[in-house]
Amino acid sequence: MDELPPDEKRMRLRYAGTCGSCGAALPAKAEALYDRASKSVRCITHDRPTSAAPVEERVDPGTPGGSARREFERRRAAREQRIRTKHPKIGGLLHALSDEPQTTRAWDTGAVGEERLGKRLNELASGDVRILHDRRIPRTRANIDHVAVTRSGIFVIDAKKYAGRPQLKIEGGLIRQRVEKLIVGTRDCTKVVDGVLKQMDVVRAVVGDHVTIHGVLCFVEADWPLIGGAFTTRGVQVLSPKKLYPKLHADGPLGTTDVEELHRQLASALPPA
């Protein structure tokens, strides 16, 4: 490599980042070039961008749990404002001594699950595993928690932080219509499977039918057994984070260039929420 300009230095990243030249995810501890002026990093294999060779627009990977975290903060701030308005003198004390309602805490719980899973996904990112977080589904208020573009296809990942053990309950089969239900603890979570199937359809509409789409419900901190536990319902894999990570590095028909192109295509069609 040529001698670096004075405003750049070669370093080992303390935190995961994204290459400012190609948009590739750079895991923590990877070697990269740091630009002091722009406070950005790029792969050590890239030449320094010049005006004669414009850099392709950077892919924004998104922030894990970003929209859920903002909604939690919005609801918490709105509740505090209502209490202070109603009780001008002691509103601050009342707010400090009272708990947030469950409907507000649920947004914090969801954000924590997405943040933890997203952090680990960023650490696993590479040229053959490219990650997007918290992508908005156009013309709706819904979002996709995580998307991983890999050599074996595209993983549509819904992160959940529910208590209890995930189980597959099957009703009917011989006389009655077979019905599969996802139960977590004592809670019927079958509707979240419907949500992942819809998200898979959204991704499929963007990339077409020639790419394999893997639907995943990843339960963070659930009561998973020491052996086994993962299962599939209606084409959606239900598993723990530890079961998910090896699947992202599985070999497949897509090359590194295919992975990069699909990553950019999805990032453009599904902007950060």
pLDDT over 60 at 2, yes or no: no
Cβ-proximal residues to 128 (8 Å cutoff; 6+ apart), any chain: 150, 151, 249, 256, 259
Exposure string of 63-97, with b = 16+ CB inside 10 Å and e = fewer, is bbbbbbbebbeebbeeebeebeeeeeeebeeebee
Average pLDDT of every residue of the chain? 89
pLDDT tens digits for range 85-117: 999 999 888 888 888 999 999 999 999 999 999
3-class DSSP state of 127: coil
Token couple for 164: 């209890």
Burial class (CB in 10 A: 0-12, 13-18, 19+), 179: exposed
Stretch 164-190: mean pLDDT = 91
DSSP per-residue codes, 91-107? HHHHHHHSPPPHHHHHH
Cβ-proximal residues to 7 (8 Å cutoff; 6+ apart), any chain: 35, 36, 37
pLDDT tens digits for range 116-163: 999 999 999 999 999 999 999 998 989 999 999 999 999 999 999 999
pTM for the whole thing?
0.76
**Alpha carbon distance 223, 212 (integer Å):** 30
